[in-house]
Amino acid sequence: MPTIIIYGRVRFCIYPKDHRPAHVHVIAGEAHAKFEIITGQCISSVGFSSKALTKLSVKVLEHRKELMQAWKEFEGED
């Protein structure tokens, strides 16, 4: 699973050929979450606090362009 962004101990990853909607997997130790790239909305999470999820959502939105570009490359979209 390619890591697109590293933020402290948190990795933002995209699985090649993953299902829609376009999303990013966020992993920190045993904690993990999925965020929709376009909206920054948390789709699912385990082990992150509400405060951490809010900060991570902001990071997804800050890096939305980069994450969408990676998503398109891994999905074979132009």
pLDDT-derived band at 77 (thresholds 50, 70, 90) equals low
- Amino acid symbol at 6: I
Give the C-alpha separation, 63 to 26, whole Å.
Answer: 13
> In sequence order, which ranges of the chain are alpha helices (DSSP H)?
50-62, 64-75
pLDDT tens per residue, range 6-58: 999 999 999 998 999 999 999 999 999 999 999 999 999 999 999 999 999 99
Tell me the whole-structure pTM to 2 decimals: 0.92
- Amino acid symbol at 57: S
As beta bridge partners, residue 23 has 36
Q: What are phi and psi of 16, to 5 degrees?
A: -60, 140
Chain-centre distance for alpha carbon 60: 6
